[in-house]
Structure 1
Amino acid sequence: MIAKQISMRVAKRSNFGELVQYIANSQNKHERVEQITVTNCYQPEYIVAAKEIMAVQQRNTRAGSDKTYHLIISFPAGERPTNDTLREIESKVCASIGFAEHQRISAVHTDTDHLHMHIAINKIHPHRLTIHNPYCDHKVLGTICESLEVEYGLARDNHQAVNRGKQSLALSMESAGGVESLLGWIRRECLAEIRAAGSWQEFHEALQHNGLGINEKGNGFVITDGEREVKPSSVARDLSRPQLEKKFGAFVQSSTINRQPEKAYQPKPMASRQDTTVLYEDYKLAQSRVAGLKSQRIGEARDKKNALIEAAKSEARQKRTAIKQFTQGVLNRKVLYQLTSKSLRDKIQTVNQQYRAESKVIRAGSQRSSWLDWLQKRAVEGDVQALSALRARAGNHSLANNNGFTDRTGDGGKPVVGLKPDSITKRGTIIYRAGASAVRDEGHQIKVSKVITQQALALSLNLAMRRFGPTVKVNGTADFKERVVQLAASEKLPVTFENPALEQRRKSLVSELKTQEKKHESDHRNRFAGGFHRLGRRSRIEQRVYGEPRKSNVARVGTRPPPQAKNRLRDLRELGLVRNAFGSKLLLPGNVFGNVEQQSAQAVNGLRREISESGRMMPNPGEAAARQYIAEREKKRTLIKDIPRHTLWTGESGQAEYAGWREKDGKPLVLLKQEESEIIVLPVNTETLKHAKYLKIGDQVNFDSDGSVQKTGLSL
């Protein structure tokens, strides 16, 4: 853990509101600002709290220094303390430098490889209105970081400052920009040869051999390559002017003619595992184009400004000529001249304001990018070479407690087609959004950050299979490994685990799942034996006794005739017929004998609903789809415990929390959560689904007995 103050070079440019706006800005990224904390303010919202803090700063009119203290606390790559731990660390670090009672706003950023926290602190005490400037804060911050690392079991870091001032700044720029600085190049390439010099002449020759020279400046020296300058004391303390004059005597200018150097400094990317020569040439070409386009647009804006000013001046001259020729009276001419001059000044001021605004827009859109920023942009656009160059800078930062997958034989990978990354870090980590969680693809390892949701778990496992093949290594906690194994077994994924215990667990779960499926199929066959329709209890008994179910009110077919029909045939007059003696009479139901079936309308079976079981109708298609979806979720719930129980909507009305929508066999379904562990599945029509897609997860809705859903008075 490292704590460092970011100071403003010009105190007047410091603005607490702009700092808070920067640290709280998500920059259209899901994985950037994780949490924002406001401390010692009356207002809990950071936007209003920032205005409150600026009002307190304005009440102090005596302080001339910067009234804002910008502190950054950064953690090693892969280390992820809990939110409670981060809040405790923030409180203790601020208290150690005397800001325990001061107002502050902090934000945790997770969009880089190093989780870090920005803390904007008001140096003006909210009650005493006095300013507090910590003394030797870098030493105090180093001491408190060491103690907090031990207290919370964090990775130990070096808190002894080796480089300060220009040395630290140059090395920080190398790390942030990825391009070797002149100071760093001299240290790595020339320092040994320069130190070996025994006189001023040899010292000059050593510098010229490397394309460098030394000049006097102020009370000291500067080493230059013709374009850039560095202080010799920044390269090494024994190269300061007092030390060199103590070693060689008074300074003597070089007496030799400048010779062609054998090597010279050229800005180039820092050493990595990949040759980036071609990419760096493309980068320089792109930057030169940006600079050329910027100069062209600025020139066009300047010419436009000059033309407008010249037109305004020409118009003013014409007005003065007209006033001189056609206006009578000295006083009248004087007044008109003043009005003309004022009009000219106003027009020139307006033109200059327009030019400054246009130039600001041009410069903002034509800024030069650093080498790493350019690689990031290319990687987001899908450039595999740029992504590989970013990852070639990274070392192995994996920690044992990281939840994820690892395989050193992976291909390094590229962004998955069809899956848009949330962002890409300067070390080539691709961050994918997965609901409330995030999946980080580092090429040779895939990690799940934040809360591990089922969606993030499925995404990370599928990425690992695509990146590393069918055999993967699972890292992390025991709970994470168990959830991965359960997911692989329930989804029947073609994956094997490198850990023998996990692989054995997966096989046992697959075996249990197959046994449950066989049992389910057997129960299904027994339940629906004899046809699609379910048989009632009486029908099943009759089937066992007689071999087939009996129809209601229909006698069983016997093997012997009734006594009155035994060994004889009935004649026509004994049959149950209706006699109509007169053809003109209307045949009424009373004329029909009781043993003759009355004529009725023919049955149209296409208008009847099928019977699934005794006294019960078949469900409509939406209900059938809902039952099928519920059966699938309940089947997975036996293996994955955090899946809530799903039940079918039974026609009741009430209030619930919107939990999403699904489509099963083309039938739309709406999910409603009334309890934490239960989901109601409601079949709806297409129009309702169209409006439900505009709802957000967690919205409170009302549902009626007719299946309609309402939110804030608007019916879906």
Structure 2
Amino acid sequence: MLAKVLSKGRDAGGGCRSLIRYVMRSAEEGAPEVEAFTNCLSLETAHLEMRAVAHRNVRVHGPIFHFIVAWREGEHPHSAQLCEAGRAALEALGMPLGDHQYVFAVHRDTGGVHLHVVVNRVNLQTGHAALPGLSYLKLGRCMRELELRQGWEHDRGPFMVVERDGQPVVERDLPSPGSARHSLPARARAMETFSGIESLATYIGGAPLRDVLAALSHSGVTWQDVHEALAQHALELRIRGHGLAIHAKGHETRLPVKASSVDECLGRGRLEARLGPWEPPARMIQVSQAARHYGEREINDASASHREAYAESCAALRAKYAGERRRQEDAFAARRQAMRSRHETQYRELLERHRLVRERIFGEELTSIERRAVRSIAAFERARELERLREQQRAERGELARVQSYRQWVEMLAQQGDESALVQLYGWARRRTPRRVVQPARSNWISAVHSPDAYPLPPGRAHVMENWTWRVDTANGNVHYLRQGEQQLTDEGWRVVFDSNDARQDAMLTGLLLARQKFGPHIDVTGSEDFRQRSAMLVVKYRLDIRFGDTALEAVRLALIREREQEAVARARQKPSDRVAQRERMEDQSVHRVHEREPQATPLRAPIDGPER
């Protein structure tokens, strides 16, 4: 189900009657009969009644609001479901049926059943006008809830349906910060959000942009080189206003993309400064066959599963915290009540003790001067002890263990190694602007093979290593791994970074195993050539199920595997006597190396029968 507010939905110039006639198809000859519902006296007088109520509010402009609720092809809701959808949509917009006049008109003869809703924003009782701001968000959530209630297939929109603890929940579908969708123009992002179709801006920002930038990197580049690079992808650069825009061939009705919004070096000013005055594409380039075309393909968001897993993990953690918070609140209430009872008892005992002191003073035979002095001293002692008791009780109240906030509880779990807590810390760090912390240069890391806009995996505590300790950075969720007290590598979520440019073999093996556990068998290795070669050798030596995304490094891995297989075949073909001889030679060589490494005792003096060694 989808809902759309029409641009002509508000009655700007007295068109209420024409709008109702349009949705009822009164002016169309031979049009099928339209099923309609209204709370006005009749459909014929609905526009007059709406106008009369709207005139009660002289400040309102455009009192009539018009939107459509559409079902997918093949879905055929009955009248009760249609009325429920219209009522739910109006309630989501803050215009309940009992307070606002409406007309529902059902069209069933098109590709899919859709419901026209015409409503008067002016309240029947109060005369106040409703302001349905952010209607696309309110209607988007309402559509997902109706799909759940009525059993329809879920459509794309600003909200999505996810499963939490076995129950479907409606949540906002937001692009991750820093992703390609997040940096798209607002209209392109809305198109991908609501329709699931790749926008022209996304298409241009991929291979076409890389080809154009590659052409501009060459010396002697001309305008025709830029046009040719775009023509390979069925795109054309044209003048639009005072700047340049990129058009998709075959999609002339589609809004072009501003060239400078794709990359700042494609702005008209920069291009003309480098290439000279503007030149349109040559005829040969305009009619050339393109290798690729913009086809409005559906988005294959590989990070959707990661986002859903992250959302499920955070929801489960929040539910766990709710139970823990109730337990802490009960324990805190019991401790506080016990402390209050103890403090009250201490206070009453102190007052009772000083009351007895006063009674003894009055019972003793003292002169007036002595009694006044003793009473003064007793009052001073009473005030001093009361103040001490108050300070003591105030300190106890401050030390009383309070209920942990969600952040404190998550940080505590993260320090204990809970992976859901690590995921939550990493999500918080991604949402806020990171602080600029000076870190040592670390150029060697292992990451997953994914596109730059893929949703990165959060850090996790590895289960494949022994004799390692780890420490969690609660500011960003990173996990630091230490061996014998020395930090060796860091899991930053989307990559495993080595703290030393000359990492030890055990640290590299641990990093490879951790990356295999997090990212799967396909990984990328970035760093010095020595680090990359050593990574490939470790993968082959320990027979790790890992493939490299880099073609050259993968070729090295395959070559090492072939070399190992050839050695195994050569050993299998050797005669038993040759293998025994070779083993004996290897043992002799190893014994010789051991003797070479052993320190020799230095004689105090040279032997008589030979030269000094």
Normalization by structure 1: what TM-score?
Answer: 0.33
Structure with higher RCO (Cα < 8 A, 6+ apart): 2
**Max Rg structure:** 1
